[in-house]
Amino acid sequence: MDAREIYEFWLTDSYFDEKTKEELRGIAEDEKEIEERFYKELEFGTGGLRGIIGAGTNRMNIYTVRKATQGLANFIIREQAQEKGVAIAYDSRNMSPEFAEEAALCLAANGIRAYIFPSLRPTPMLSFALRKLGCIAGIVVTASHNPPEYNGYKVYWEDGAQITFPKDKEIIGEVKGITDYAQVKTTSREEALKTGFYQVIGEEIDDAYMEELKKLVLHPEIIQQEAKALKIVYTPLHGTGNIPVRRVLRELGFANVYVVKEQELPDGSFPTVSYPNPEDKNAFVLALGLAKEVDADIVLATDPDADRLGVYAKDTKTGEYVSFTGNMSGMLILEYQLSQRKELGLLPENGAVVTTIVSGKMAREAAKAYQVELIETLTGFKYIGEQIKFFEQNQEKEYIFGYEESYGCLVGTHARDKDAVVAVMALCEAAAYYKSQGMTLCDKMQELFEVYRYYKEDLCTVTLKGQDGAKQIDAMMEKLRLDVPKSIGCMRVTQFRDYREDVKIDMASGKKTGTGLPKSNVLYFELENSAWCCVRPSGTEPKIKFYVGVKGKSEEDAKALMQNITEDVTRCTVGLQMHS
């Protein structure tokens, strides 16, 4: 059936409720909107679903959520693991409670116990809960930092990390195998409670999670010494971080925590920001205003599902608040963890730090300095979580820290996904420690640049929405794949990697080898003088992303190199769009 025929089916079939049909009747004369909503199924990708909320096969709604859950249930039953149950959490987005409820009732109808939180929780708490409860899988309803019109649905496996190959492909296969919505099972909440397949979880998980976080503190005595002097401004950006972030800081003794009142309470419409993303400087406008009022040392923001942390810190030399990229905040926590564990005799000989191929390269220098191994994975924290599983299975490495450039990191192994709550805790501990040494976070970051050299990274994105946009992004990737540039900016390309084709090419000799990582639609250009560029379509938004990094002899040198490369990348994106 074409898009119009599927639209008519949704309008007339008794399976779909009246509210859905009323919404669809409102677009009856809009052929483009009908096409966008029904030209395909909302794809259950390797992390789950993510899309615009609304009626249609290519939208987030109770029917696409039920279908995804039925596919997951079919896989769990096939694995004969239904006795272990599934944990479910959700964030503050519009329709999150409803989607979580639909997932729980579908599981219950399939004879799989659903453990569901009664109110919103951060994504890392879902990862922790499913491990604590011994579940086979977990579901979190969130669209992370996407704009307000989005929601999503992520699937985790029993190790606590998002699903990876081969289970991701097998679960996707089960979802795609459901061709009729009538195949999807559901039940009432009353019936699910009566049978015991619907169980509410809450405070006992919250308390256990907090205790695990507090075990990770390296210098409780420094916190007690400096906590009353350190001023922290925090905003949850209308998301899930408010209660757990404030709780852990309070229980550790941080007394001066100022919360942005306008952004304190959950609100899926995100009324004070157009884009609830701590990577976006506009998300910090209110927090920085409060910081200046109270003369804060650090300013922190977590995204709606509290797995990403954005940071500003006061530079006492200028009086200005300085923005930290995800690479910079990741390096501050990494350096603190490595240096203090070494000082305390807690740095394992077989220690490993895990980052992604698009994360900053300063971590390589730090790992070398502290004689720990650095492992790089594909983009996505699920691959970092997967490494923790491998370490536990083969006992060859001990996980120390993992981070990615997109403002996500993990201290400890209580969860297997990025955790902004523990990141807040770790960063505030580091700030207290450096304050005791007469340093700010800005001072420490400058010291890292001087010790490890001036690494600088940037991200250029092109947003191309809808069906036509997806085709353009595909065409841009294919053009780069088939016509590999010999240089980017003033830097010569020395090596080209195509992760989809699993090929690494030395540009001077033409020698080809494998990449050593799973297949993915990612192109990587290694440049001379430690510079690099990586291109990939976003897995969560209608964007193509160009990541770039340089290493300078000084801050000015790094800025000049970065400007040269980003200008060339910008020209390249315009040319690619014209070609597509």
* First CA to last CA distance, the chain: 28
List the strands of the sheet with 86-90, edge to edge: 48-52, 150-157, 137-141, 86-90, 114-116, 198-200
Contact 515, 502 (CB under 8 A): yes
Average pLDDT over residues 110-132: 98
pLDDT band at residue 580 under the 50/70/90 scheme: low
**CATH code for the domain in which residue 560 is found:** 3.30.310
Contact 433, 217 (CB under 8 A): no
Model pLDDT for residues 16-29, shown as the tens digit of each residue: 999 999 999 999 99
Is 224 a domain residue? no
Model pLDDT for residues 294-316, shown as the tens digit of each residue: 999 999 999 999 999 999 999 99
Average predicted confidence (pLDDT) for the chain: 96
List the strands of the sheet with 408-411, edge to edge: 373-377, 351-356, 398-404, 408-411
465 in the same domain as 430: no
Determine the Cα–Cα distance for residues 455 and 554; give it in Å rounded to an integer: 9
In degrees and rounded to multiples of 5, residue 497 shows phi and psi of: -120, 130
443 in the same domain as 357: yes
Model pLDDT for residues 82-104, shown as the tens digit of each residue: 999 999 999 999 999 999 999 99
Positions annotated as catalytic residues are 144
Residues 6+ apart with CB under 8 A from 227: 252, 253, 254, 255, 256, 432
Model pLDDT for residues 339-353, shown as the tens digit of each residue: 999 999 999 999 999
Q: Which two tokens stand for residue 508?
A: 């001077």
Report pLDDT for 86. 98
Is 500 a domain residue? yes
In terms of phi and psi (left: phi > 0; alpha: psi -120 to 50; beta: otherwise), the region of 270 is: left
Average pLDDT over residues 164-193: 93
Three-state secondary-structure class, residue 426:
helix
List the strands of the sheet with 298-302, edge to edge: 256-259, 231-235, 298-302, 309-315, 320-324
Concatenated DSSP letters of 173-220? HHHHT---GGG-----HHHHHHHT-EEE--HHHHHHHHHHHHTT-S-H
pLDDT band at residue 578 under the 50/70/90 scheme: confident
467 in the same domain as 384: no
Contact 401, 334 (CB under 8 A): yes
Average pLDDT over residues 120-148: 97
pLDDT band at residue 43 under the 50/70/90 scheme: confident
pLDDT band at residue 57 under the 50/70/90 scheme: very high
Determine the Cα–Cα distance for residues 114 and 12; give it in Å rounded to an integer: 32
In degrees and rounded to multiples of 5, residue 365 shows phi and psi of: -65, -40
Structural domain count of the chain: 5
pLDDT band at residue 541 under the 50/70/90 scheme: confident
Q: How many other C-beta atoms lie within 10 A of the C-beta of residue 465?
A: 13
pLDDT at 4 over 70: yes
Using CB atoms within 10 Å of the CB of residue 466, give its burial: 0 to 12 exposed, 13 to 18 middle, 19+ buried. Answer: middle
Tell me the β-bridge partners of 198. 114
Residues 6+ apart with CB under 8 A from 485: 493, 525, 572
| Residue reference for tokens 């052929």 | 31
Handedness of CA 265, 268, 270, 271 (dihedral sign): negative
Is 565 a domain residue? yes
29 in the same domain as 47: no
Determine the Cα–Cα distance for residues 506 and 363; give it in Å rounded to an integer: 24
Q: Which two tokens stand for residue 458?
A: 């940037």
CA-wise closest residue to 304 among 51, 545, 90 = 90
Model pLDDT for residues 213-236, shown as the tens digit of each residue: 999 999 999 999 999 999 999 999
Contact 142, 121 (CB under 8 A): no
Contact 103, 52 (CB under 8 A): no
pTM comes to: 0.95
- Of the candidates 450, 477, 506, which is a domain's last residue? 450
- Of the candidates 278, 303, 322, which is a domain's last residue? 322
DSSP code of residue 43: P
71 in the same domain as 21: no
**CATH code for the domain in which residue 335 is found:** 3.40.120.10
48 in the same domain as 157: yes
pLDDT band at residue 75 under the 50/70/90 scheme: very high
- Of the candidates 450, 485, 501, which is a domain's last residue? 450
Average pLDDT over residues 198-219: 98
538 in the same domain as 438: no
Is 238 a domain residue? yes
DSSP code of residue 25: H
Tell me the β-bridge partners of 487. 492
pLDDT band at residue 46 under the 50/70/90 scheme: low
Report pLDDT for 190. 97
60 in the same domain as 169: yes
Using CB atoms within 10 Å of the CB of residue 263, give its burial: 0 to 12 exposed, 13 to 18 middle, 19+ buried. Answer: buried
Determine the Cα–Cα distance for residues 21 and 56; give it in Å rounded to an integer: 10
pLDDT band at residue 44 under the 50/70/90 scheme: confident
Is 120 a domain residue? yes
- Structural domain including 190 reads 40-205
545 in the same domain as 466: yes
Angle in degrees, CA 555, 561, 567, rounded to 5: 130
Q: Which two tokens stand for residue 246?
A: 């404030």
In degrees and rounded to multiples of 5, residue 334 shows phi and psi of: -60, -50
pLDDT at 156 over 90: yes
Determine the Cα–Cα distance for residues 37 and 57; give it in Å rounded to an integer: 6
181 in the same domain as 50: yes
Q: How many residues does the chain have?
A: 580
Tell me the β-bridge partners of 322. 313
Is 257 a domain residue? yes
Is 416 a domain residue? yes
Model pLDDT for residues 354-382, shown as the tens digit of each residue: 999 999 999 999 999 999 999 999 999 99
Model pLDDT for residues 494-530, shown as the tens digit of each residue: 999 999 999 999 999 999 999 999 999 999 999 999 9
470 in the same domain as 425: no
Pairing mode, if any, of strands 512-513 and 523-527? unpaired
345 in the same domain as 483: no
Write out the H or E segment, with its range, that includes residue 488: strand 487-488
Report pLDDT for 575. 83
Is 168 a domain residue? yes
**Percent of the chain at pLDDT exceeding 90:** 94
pLDDT at 143 over 90: yes
Determine the Cα–Cα distance for residues 85 and 135; give it in Å rounded to an integer: 5
